[in-house]
Structures are given as structure tokens and as C-alpha cells.
Chain A
Amino acid sequence: MSKALLYDATMCIGCKQCEGACAQQNKLPYDDTVAAESVQSAHKYTVVMTKDDKFMRRLCMHCEHPACASVCPVGAFHKTAAGPVVYDVWKCIGCRYCMVACPFNQPKYEWQSRNPRVRKCIMCPDRIAAGKQTACAEICPTGATKFGERDDLVREAQERIRQNPSTYLPRIYGLNEVGGTSVLLISNVPVEQYGYPPSAKIGETPMPEYTGRVMERIPDFIPVWTLVLGGIYWVSHRRDEVAAAEAEQKKNGSAR
């Protein structure tokens, strides 16, 4: 079964240790300046945002049906069986379609580089393969970010909401959004306030279906359209041939 992360905003104390652990895991620079940055970028895969005294974490959602993987012309992204959506930099040609297609705006770009890469949280696939938790979940002192089987985490989130209905908003963000994601969020304030796209806007349809509906017609379209074009060509030129043949016949007839 596939792994997932559950982030419980009510348990988060805003210590930003997940940011630091993430940077270390992915060999990214991390100091006070980076810690103060409140937006994700090519050198900051995850961010803990602060609003009043409340916190919210942002990272790649690891969609069950990722838009980035479906749009990439060279298949540089793919969803692994274990859950993470990973990126093969050696395939990437840099078209940035993944960035425009992602409903959560997660892929970021190395704009200043001469040989730029797309950067995003890849959910520590090496650690998961080694049977460990993600770096962010391991370091979290309060358990606000929890690593586990997606099904178990969904059940646990439902249980927390059921037991403390006054603490939580009655929804798990990521359960059904764009067909479900491997990062689940529960909180006491709408996640939209922190820049997450509204559920109603992104819907529950897996993103690849929007283009898939057109792409799946192409294998049928090619032979049919070729036949139609060939037919038109034949008919319009046949008329000339017949006319020429008739003219020829007439000429021969009158000559005789």
C-alpha cells in the first residue's frame, strides 16, 4: 500500500524543524535567512507559514494521479508505488509544463541556473525504500507531521475530527481533492487562507483526465482522418482524370 503524510495544523508549534531537516536531506542551504522566507522556492521544498498564532505547512501534495507526471513530454515525473511523486532530472528538457499544470503550484524552477532543474518535495523516496519515515516526519517534535500508510492516516484523521469536533474543521484536505493526494491536512482554519487552492475550484476529478479525454481519441482519430483526407484527395482528383479521359476519347472519336 502507499505511504502518506498527515499534517495536523492544530498540533504544529511552528518550530520549523521540518524545514531544516528537509533542507539537510535534500542538500539545500538552510540558515536564518532561508528560515525567514515564507514562500517555497527551488531551495525551499517545504515551508511553515505563520498567521496570527496559527501555523500551516506547505509541500508537494503527491497526488494519487499527478498532473505533472501526465503532462511531462519526456516522463520525467512518476508516481511510485510507495506513494512519492519523484523527478528524474536526467530526462527533463525544461519545458516547465509541470509547473503550469500543477493545481498546487508545487514544482519550482532554478531560474538563475545555466542548466536548470525543477525542484519540489519528493517525499524522501530513498528513506521510504529503506523503511524509514520522511525527514520532516521523523524530526517533528509534536507529531504534527505524521508518516504512515495512507489508509491508516485517513482513518486516524477521521478519528481525531470525530473526537474533537470543536477543534477541527470537519474535512480532510487531500482526501478527494483532484482524485486524492498522499499528503492529508486537517486544521481549525480553512487551508485556503494559507494559499491552498479551494476544494471547489480544483474539484475531485484527477487532473490527467482533462487532457486524457482528448489524448485517448487520437489513436482512433489518425486512421479515420487519414482515410477522410485520402478520400477527398481521390474524389477531387478522380474528377480531373475522368474529364481528361473523356476529352481524350472525344478527340480520338472525332479523329476517326
Chain B
Amino acid sequence: MKFKLTFWRVVFIVIMGLGLYSTFIRFFYGLGAVSNMTDQFPWGIWIGFDLLCGVMLAAGGFCIVGAVYLFNVESLHSVVRPAVLTAFLGYVLFIVGLLFDLGRPWYIWHQMIYMNPHSVMFEIGICVMSYTTVLFFEFLPNVLERFKLETPIKWIKKIYPVLIILGILLSTLHQSSLGSLYLIMPSKLHPFWYTPALPFLFFGSAIAVGLAMTIFESTQSAKAFGRHLELPVLVQLGGALLVALWVNALLRFEDYFHRGLLGQIIKPSYEAYFLWLELALAFVIPIIMLSFKKVRLSPQGLYLASIFTVLGFITNRLNIALTGFETYVGHHYIPKWTEYSVTLMIVALGFALFGLAVKYLPIFPEEKHPVQERLRTATVTAPVAATPVLDHAGD
């Protein structure tokens, strides 16, 4: 096959080049040379975006698997494979991101021998490790089918109920535990974001974003691969998203109400501006949009609403990881360009791998009219969608 240099392929190559340069700096000159992290700001954008947001963006896997296999919602069956693929890639890339952020990544296996059961980080580590394994087995049938290996598929089908229940159990644990990480910092994290309810809020937002991401990636891959869009599936997901957003909004309101912060959050302040941005993007805009039946029934409307939701909750997690500490520390943390470039490289890799998987594996159900031509030209769609997400990553 002839390799054609399209605009997005050039962008992809540039991103990878800069990313590899930053990787060299990171592992040769240390974290100080590659990032703007300091003793006052020991966790930067790699924790805030790559880890906190990465795990949330990959939540579609357990949401859809739960809906289809646990609650037996047959109609969503066609999005299970893309959702599992996204989750699997998401977690693998999460681990790649972790290798950049850990000061001594070569000792990451210590996690398995020097266990500290009191540590939230330990629990997350074990859960993520196990869940990535579960996702591997949930994803494996795609590869086996491609090579027509029937026997191992039968074995995996036999243990599928166990995989599903284990996957959802592990997801419940670590999605909420990401919030628990911050419970030990009551004196540091700004009260707008520090709340004993953090684990519940993290779990709730994971479900909302999981649904939104499934809408987003279905629409995106329909566009990129010239596939037929299954509107009834999107409509159903959109309805579920609206419910999930209301539940999240209610939780947030209850939390501010019980802690007596309702008066404070409406007063202008540095933190309030970021909070307003987050609340507008995550709740106000998508809830208003999805409340119109016309929007709920249109692919374009659902697509937009899902993008707002995703951006809103990304803002939420970046606020928790970065904005919420600035007043305590007393200065701002602005990531170095090399930090952005590593994050950008990981996201671009994710999109590229997704594109490759869709091209070579039976991720989407067979269609009657294969769109060979368009498939061929649209291998690397990565940066198309990677760029808008990352524009907001550092806000």
C-alpha cells in the first residue's frame, strides 16, 4: 500500500516527534527538566489529565458492558466492542502515562510485593492492573475472530459472566477511589472541590462521561470511517446521559448545600470562575441541550452535548488536581510545553491505535456495503479529535 502524506498524518508525525524528544528529556534529565512540577506542586498535568481524566474517559467500557451484559439491554449491543476497545486502549495508555509520571517507573512492580493496604494509591494500582487484564480478555475475542480461532473464543465465552462482574466490581472500586485519593488533603484542596463525597462524585462522573464518550466515539468513527450511524442507539445513550447528568448535578448541589457553600460559590473569585466554567460545561449546557427532544433525536445535537459533557468533567478533574491547590500553594502551576507534548503524544497514540484496531479487527458490525475507499484514506484520524480535547486540557 502506498503511504500518502495527508495533513493529519503530518500533524501526527510532528506530535510524535515532539513527544519522543520530551520522552528523551524525561528519562535522561529527570522530572525537573521536563516539567514545571516543584516541591510545592508535586502533581501536575500528568496526574491531572493523563491519570484522573484518562481513567474517566475510559469508563465507557464498564458502563456499556454493564448495560448490555449485566442489565441485558440488547439494543446497545453494537457499541459494546468499540466501548471495550476504547477502555482497553485507555487503560494501557493510562499505564504508559504513569510510567512517565512515576519518579522510578522501573520499580512499578513493587506494587505487587510491598503492599500497603491502607493506601488508596495501592488499591487503585491493584484494581487498574487487574481491570486491564480483564479488559484484555474482553477485547481478545476481536483478535481471535480475526484469525478465526474458534476454540479459545469458546473458553472466553464460558468465563464471560465472571469477567463482566469482575470488571464492574473493579471499576466501581477504582473509579471512586480516584476521588478518595484527595480525601487526605482537607487542609490543601480548596473547599469547592474537597468534600467527603469525592468518591461518590468520581463514580458518578465516570458513568456520565462513559456514556458521553460512547456517543462521541460512535459519531466520530462514523464520520471518520464512513460508517452508517445507528441513531436509535445514540438516542438511547443520550437519554441515559441526561439522567446521569441530573443525578450528578443533584449530588453536587446536595454536597454544596450540606456544607453551606451555596452562598460562596456564587461569589466571584479565582476558584469560582473555574467552578462556573466546569458547572456550565458539565451540567448547564448539556442538560439544557438534551432537554429538547429535537436535540435528543439528532445525531449532531447528541454529538455536541456529549462533547460539552466530556469537556465539563475534564475541567472538573483538572480543577481538583490543579486549580484547587493554587490558593494553598500560593502560586500558579503552568505546565511546561514538554509536559503537554507527552500528554498529546499519548492521546494521539490512542486515536491512532483505535483507528488501526477498527481497520484490522471486527470492531464494528459487518455492513452490507463495505466502504473500502474511505477506510483506506482515513487511517490516522487521531489528531482530528485529539486537538480539541487537549486545547482545554491545561485550562
Where the two chains meet, the residues of A that have a C-beta atom closer than 8 Å to any C-beta of B are 40-42, 67, 70-76, 91-97, 99-101, 103, 105, 108-116, 197, 201-203, 207-208, 210-215, 218, 221-222, 225-226, 229-230, 232-233, 236-237, 239-240
B110–A93 contact, CB under 8 A? yes
- Contact indicator B123/A215 (Cβ below 8 Å): yes
Sample 15 A-B pairs with CB under 8 A, ordered by A number: A41-B39, A74-B116, A93-B103, A93-B111, A94-B102, A94-B105, A97-B119, A99-B42, A101-B184, A111-B30, A112-B30, A114-B29, A215-B120, A229-B168, A233-B70
Q: Which residues of B contact A96 (CB under 8 A)?
A: 42-43, 103
A92:B104 contact, CB within 8 angstroms: yes
> In the complex the two chains form, is B183's CB within 8 Å of A93's CB?
no
B172 part of interface (Cβ distance < 8 Å): yes
Q: In the complex, what residues of B have CB within 8 A of residue A113's CB?
A: 30
* Cβ–Cβ contact A73 & B122, under 8 A: yes
Chain B positions 26-57 with a Cβ under 8 Å from a chain A Cβ: 27-33, 37-40, 42-43
Does chain A have a CB within 8 A of B161? yes
Which residues of B lie under 8 Å from residue A114 when comparing CB positions?
Answer: 27-30
Contact A111 B119 (CB under 8 A): no
List, in ascending order, chain B residues with CB within 8 A of A97's CB: 119, 121, 181
Checking B114, B121, B184, B199 against A67 with a beta-carbon cut-off of 8 angstroms, the contacting residue is: B184
Is B165 engaged at the interface, CB distance under 8 Å to the other chain?
yes
**B371 CB–A CB distance under 8 Å:** no
- Closest CB of chain B to A134's CB: distance in Å? 23
Q: How far is the CA of A93 from the CA of B109 in the complex (A)?
A: 9
- State whether the Cβ of B13 lies closer than 8 Å to any Cβ in chain A: no
Are A116 and B69 in touch, CB under 8 angstroms? no
Q: Which residues of chain B from 1 to 39 have any CB-CB distance to chain A below 8 Å in the complex?
A: 27-33, 37-39
**In this assembly, does B107 line the interface, its C-beta being within 8 Å of a C-beta of chain A?**
yes
Contact: A70 with B103, CB < 8 Å?
no
Interface residues of B in 120-173 (CB under 8 A from A): 120-123, 125, 161, 164-165, 168-169, 172-173
The closest CB in chain A to the CB of B72 belongs to: A236
Q: Note all chain A residues with C-beta closer than 8 A to B184.
A: 67, 70-71, 101, 207-208, 210-211
From known contacts A97-B181, A109-B103, A111-B32, infer whether A73 and B119 are also in contact, taking CB-CB under 8 Å. yes
Chain A residues near B186 (CB-CB < 8 A) = 203, 210
* B117 at the binding interface (Cβ < 8 Å): yes
Chain B residues positioned under 8 Å from A42 (CB to CB)? 39
A71–B27 CB distance below 8 A: no
Contacts of B161 in A (CB 8 A): 233
Q: How far is the CB of B371 from chain A (nearest CB, A)?
A: 34
A5 to B103, alpha carbons, bound, how many Å? 31
Q: Chain B contacts of A91 at CB under 8 A?
A: 107, 110, 114
B residues in contact with A236, CB < 8 Å: 70-72
